[in-house]
Amino acid sequence: MESVELDLGKLRSSVDQACRLMKVLSNPDRMLLLCQLAQGEKRVGELEEILGIVQPTLSQQLTVLRDEGLVVTRREGKNIYYQIDSPQAMAVMAVLYQQFCATA
């Protein structure tokens, strides 16, 4: 890393944002949800079926992701679709995928 003098206030703000993201990602269900959503928009029912996360837990974890600004929703009829809306979360997910999931 380059040795650059940083504004302490800006640094603290950036560190706080990074820690919030890491805290959200530290939950296995939320990580699984983001792994699926990193592949593209999904319906709530699809996420439940793919991941086997029961509805109350699924709703709770999706609410956390939405409240933290990591995902957005759209409604089409009775279906609610989720997609990732955070470039920072996508970048971290890409690194995690490369380090832990990609086959050699």
- pLDDT, residue 6, reads 76
Per CATH, the number for 8-101 is 1.10.10.10
Rg (CA), the chain: 16
Question: What is the number of other CB atoms lying within 10 angstroms of the CB of residue 5?
Answer: 5
Mean pLDDT of the chain: 93
- Domains of the chain by residue range: 8-101
Is the pLDDT at 33 greater than 90? The verdict is yes
- pLDDT, residue 3, reads 55
The pTM assigned to this predicted structure is 0.87
Is the pLDDT at 2 greater than 80? The verdict is no
Q: How many CA atoms lie within 13 A of 51 on its CB side?
A: 25
76, two tokens: 């089409």
- pLDDT, residue 102, reads 84
